């Protein structure tokens, strides 16, 4: 087994989610001391229990990754107990249904003033981009951008002092193409690729590498709601996605692990930094015709 991370500290944000929990569990199996960061303790405890059952080492740190003071205090505690962070997986992020229109294109209805509806949080089922909640829009931008920048600023300094490390950010298919209905999410994920390049060149003298993965359409609780029907079939949106996915299936969390380990492991990727790697079953390669 590859043990490049044995006895080293790996901080995983968004560790309660489907993708990052799999990454955290895999790192723990390889001997890393894994810090599970997320907003919901119950989700983190499930991951903690699985790691403990396999003999791994981890700790739970419920935290908001956009709270710089809280993240800094957490980083100081971890360093004092376990040593400096050597791997940071920036998996925290998300979307907000209040920032998602149901209509896909401009129409005459967009000319109607629905400010009163927005104020009452009572949007009609059929609503457009001009009806969405801008505070929700801002919240999506914040969690997906500052939620990556803030942990990177804090833990990259620990890596630099320790002689090096690796940071892995999470981009998306939206990094390359703004998918319908998710404007702030797409905007923020495009920013992640740009941030990855910026921070990679900035941290290179400190031997800190910065890369990103861009997962394709993966199976998790959120994606099931819009890609699948209750009986396990494909929704209309799921059918569209599958029509553009040459691999002919949705991705599983385990499909990310090979790429993640390659990007984190200095013994095989020491000359790789500043890139975003799609893990998408060929989605970006397909025009769908």
- Please identify every residue annotated as catalytic: 185
- In order, the DSSP letters of 144-205 are IIIHHHHHHHHHHHHHHHHT-EEEEEE--GGGTS--TT-HHHHHHHHHHHHHHHHHHHHHGG
- The 3-state DSSP class for residue 139 equals helix
Return the exposure string of 34-64: e unless at least 16 CB atoms fall within 10 Å of the residue's CB, then b. bbbbbbeeebbeebbebbeeeebebbbbbbe
Contact (Cβ atoms closer than 8 angstroms) between residue 80 and residue 4: no
Q: Which residue has the tokens 């900035």?
A: 202
């Amino acid at each position: 087994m590859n043990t490049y991370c044995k006895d080293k500290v790996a901080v995983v944000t968004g560790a309660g989610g489907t993708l990052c929990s799999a990454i955290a569990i895999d790192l723990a199996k390889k001997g890393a001391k894994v810090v599970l960061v997320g907003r919901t303790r119950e989700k983190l405890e499930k991951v903690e229990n699985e790691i403990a059952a396999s003999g791994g080492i981890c700790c739970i740190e419920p935290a908001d990754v956009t709270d710089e003071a809280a993240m800094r205090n957490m980083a100081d505690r971890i360093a004092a107990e376990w040593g400096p962070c050597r791997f940071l997986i920036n998996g925290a992020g998300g979307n907000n249904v209040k920032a998602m229109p149901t209509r896909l294109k401009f129409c005459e209805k967009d000319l109607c003033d629905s400010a009163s509806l927005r104020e009452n949080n009572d949007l009609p089922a059929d609503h457009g981009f001009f009806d969405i909640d801008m505070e929700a829009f801002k919240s999506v931008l914040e969690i997906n951008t500052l939620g990556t920048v803030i942990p990177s600023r804090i833990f990259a300094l620990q890596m630099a002092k320790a002689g090096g490390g690796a940071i892995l950010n999470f981009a998306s298919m939206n990094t390359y193409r703004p998918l319908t209905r998710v404007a702030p999410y797409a905007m923020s994920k495009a920013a992640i690729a740009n941030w990855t390049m910026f921070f990679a060149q900035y941290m290179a003298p400190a031997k800190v590498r910065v890369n990103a993965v861009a997962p394709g359409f993966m199976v998790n609780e959120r994606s099931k709601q819009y890609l699948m029907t209750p009986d396990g079939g494909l929704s209309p949106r799921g059918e569209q996605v599958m029509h553009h996915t040459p691999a002919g299936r949705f991705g599983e969390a385990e499909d990310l692990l090979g790429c993640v380990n390659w990007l984190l492991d200095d013994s095989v990727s020491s000359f790789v930094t500043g890139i975003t790697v799609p893990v998408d079953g060929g989605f970006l390669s397909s025009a769908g015709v």
